[in-house]
Amino acid sequence: MSENVSRNLIFWFFVLCFLVSFLLLGKLLYPFISILVMAAVVSSIFHPLYRFFQRARFVGPKLASLVTCILVFLILFIPIVFFVGILTQEAYNLYQTAKDTGISDQVTSILNQTQILDKVNALLQTFDIQITGEQLENSISRAGKSIGFFLYQQATAFASNILSFVVNFFLMLLAVFFLLIDGQRLVSFIIDLSPLPSDQDRILIDKFNDMAGAILIGNGLGGLIQGVLGGLAFWFLGIPSAFLWGAIMGLLAFLPIVGIGAVFLPAVVYVFLKGRVAAGIFMIVFYLLLSGGIEYIFKPKLVGQRVKMHTLMVFFSIIGGLKVFGILGIIYGPLIATAFLTLTEIYRANYQWLVEPEQNT
Domain assignment present for residue 360? The answer is: no
Query: Same domain, yes or no, for 199 and 332?
Result: yes
Query: Same domain, yes or no, for 163 and 221?
Result: no
Task: List pLDDT tens digits, range 18-44.
Answer: 889 989 988 998 888 888 888 888 888
pLDDT mean over 195-211: 80
Read out DSSP for 112-135? HHH-HHHHHHHHHGGGT----HHH
Q: Please tell me the distance from the alpha carbon of residue 307 to that of residue 317, in angstroms, as a whole number.
A: 14
pTM exceeding 0.85: no
Task: Report the percent of the chain where pLDDT is more than 90.
Answer: 5
CB 290 within 8 A of CB 226: yes
Query: Same domain, yes or no, for 198 and 187?
Result: no
- pLDDT band with cut points at 50, 70 and 90 for residue 244: confident
Q: Please tell me the distance from the alpha carbon of residue 107 to that of residue 117, in angstroms, as a whole number.
A: 11
- pLDDT band with cut points at 50, 70 and 90 for residue 279: confident
**Among the three residues 166, 192, 218, which one is the final residue of a domain in this structure?**
192
Q: Please tell me the distance from the alpha carbon of residue 210 to that of residue 11, in angstroms, as a whole number.
A: 38
Q: Give the orientation angle of helix 102-114 with respect to helix 116-124, to 10 degrees.
A: 70
Phi, psi at residue 177, to the nearest 5°?
Answer: -55, -45
**Among the three residues 141, 167, 192, which one is the final residue of a domain in this structure?**
192
Query: Same domain, yes or no, for 36 and 121?
Result: yes
Residue ranges making up the domain that contains 199: 194-349
pLDDT mean over 282-300: 84
**Among the three residues 176, 192, 208, which one is the final residue of a domain in this structure?**
192
Task: List pLDDT tens digits, range 122-179.
Answer: 555 555 555 554 555 555 555 555 655 555 565 565 555 666 777 888 899 999 999 9
Task: List pLDDT tens digits, range 2-18.
Answer: 666 677 788 788 888 98
Task: List pLDDT tens digits, range 319-338.
Answer: 888 888 777 788 888 888 88
Q: Please tell me the distance from the alpha carbon of residue 336 to that of residue 318, in angstroms, as a whole number.
A: 10
Domain assignment present for residue 112? The answer is: yes
pLDDT above 60 for 109 = no
| Per-residue b or e along 159-190, where b marks 16 or more CB atoms closer than 10 Å to that residue's CB | eeeeeebeeebeebbebbbebbbebeeeeeee
Domain assignment present for residue 341? The answer is: yes
Query: Same domain, yes or no, for 199 and 182?
Result: no
Q: Residue 336: name the closest of 354, 324, 353, 348 by CA.
A: 324
Q: Please tell me the distance from the alpha carbon of residue 299 to that of residue 296, in angstroms, as a whole number.
A: 7
Which residues lie below 8 Å from residue 275, measured CB to CB, with a gap of 6+? 113, 114
How many domains does the structure of the chain reveal?
A: 2
Q: Please tell me the distance from the alpha carbon of residue 15 to that of residue 133, in angstroms, as a whole number.
A: 70
Query: Same domain, yes or no, for 35 and 163?
Result: yes
CB 253 within 8 A of CB 259: yes
Task: Report the percent of the chain where pLDDT is more than 70.
Answer: 71
pLDDT of residue 21: 92
* H helix runs in the chain, sequence order: 2-29, 33-55, 61-72, 78-99, 102-114, 116-124, 133-160, 162-193, 198-213, 220-236, 242-252, 261-273, 277-293, 299-303, 311-325, 329-346, 352-355
pLDDT of residue 177: 92
Q: Which residue has the higher pLDDT, 140 or 254?
A: 254
Query: Same domain, yes or no, for 108 and 127?
Result: yes
Q: Please tell me the distance from the alpha carbon of residue 348 to that of residue 346, in angstroms, as a whole number.
A: 6
Which residues lie below 8 Å from residue 26, measured CB to CB, with a gap of 6+? none
Number of CB atoms found within 10 A of residue 130's CB: 11
